[in-house]
Structure 1
């Protein structure tokens, strides 16, 4: 007896991500759109791109981009109104395929999910074989392509699924996890947005290897509660389980500003793209909500939040901005300066259900 407990079993985690999902569905269903730059959304003045085909992405068209900007970048861009009921139905087909291989499925949105296949991998030989079977069945049954990441934790699986997009697969085995992370630019890390990446660059952190060189206490002084996560993933460690029954309570986004803001007009300039990003994130997940919350962090790190519950679910980015207007008028001008702004949507409900009740007109902001 050595007194040593056995090493925990390595998990087998997949991240499956559909390729340009909404736009690909439209191209599948209308042969005239195939090979052309397509944006799902409306071309009206306040329209927002919900999804862009790969042909459109070559021109720099991206989701959450104002339609007017997208049209300037790609004059040949074809706008297609979203068909949420179709996307939802196709997503159901895809998730039924997932369920053939494991009950441990954590959907992130209509077009991506984590799968834990640790308990079923022995039936198929390897997690890579399962990922390839899922991709083949998705293509055969829906006519669409998916990319897959295979690894031993969620963080690495998600990074891997981006590696060979579109219609690709990438595997990060346990012995390669730390080295794979070390070579990546910090911008590739899931959860590190442009503002956080800029802060890290200012501190000399540009790659996973740079991040690994920092001890956890120093990271905590700069990044607070996120320090433990950064410390772990920079070493290829992520203990988060796949949570099949996780209930999302809110969706939010925020940005740390390059300079402190003082006026309502400056705040609106920042919040407009944030609201567009938030709505696009909600729509990807098939959700909307009734409560809009504004978060303001001042230069002295004091945080103020203001929430407003609406009588009906929001229908787009413009309504999110309108809901915040009373808060902006009350909080600005800000003499002490504002260093961070954020917006969150809560009291969530199914976008499909709200649309079915006649409450929503998608992307008619």
Structure 2
């Protein structure tokens, strides 16, 4: 645990705030298999790490800080993305070689996907960094290109989840990799329609689906603005305080709608509030209108899937297309992905880039109003 923290803190020059500091609790998660930490590096340094693990040594901090390694973690993504999702996160490296990272990450994802039939998980979700380096702030272009070129995960939007190095809100990619390569195709094949409250959200959904080779029927509310539901500004009792550097995700259940909306719109101190909503439900546009009226914007989708998870006795489980409506709660300025700075983009990619620029302008304006 200390070694992972050491690598990440050195990688980010001490400006790292994700959940890696509660050593005792996180050690328990590693022990029970909830988290798996991978290290990579030159052979001699990896042997040193293996010996430290084998002997259960507690070396001095300067010993750990002297190891030039890379790391990432696989852990449950249920809290952020829903049941059946694994998350790949906590990635950083103090090595100069990018090739070592790509080889290690590909090996680890192969291990995870190889065991998918024995667990309930069906999707690897990740939000890789994608900004350019700037001064002492390390960029994410290298890890982003590993996900796009080697891993082959699919882009399904952007996630303004975290306040990152330099107190910037990074517009991270939201990407998925299915354990079953046909799961998403089956999901779209049995889809009737997607229901949306506004044209801006519809344009994003169309663009993301077309980027990945799908063209669903998108139904946009056409009878004028939808009345937003009444919601309370007071957070429901019993909730934990939010993470000032990270997201809080609320999964909106249409069968207990009022509590879900009340919970979503009342910030608890988190950097970003996320409301996940079923976009295939005909009653969804009213929910979306309520979220839009309270400063949320649709920024990513999780595509529909038909999966056969372990423990289902071979029975198919269909997961609808869901939308992530995000509301940043910080004055931190957004940091754009490197690919918004130009380069060869096709027409679909250009339309998505325009959508992301529009989101950034909205958040920049709203952030300045919080100052």
Question: TM-score surpassing 0.5?
Answer: no
TM-score, with normalisation over the residues of structure 1? 0.26
TM-score, with normalisation over the residues of structure 2? 0.25
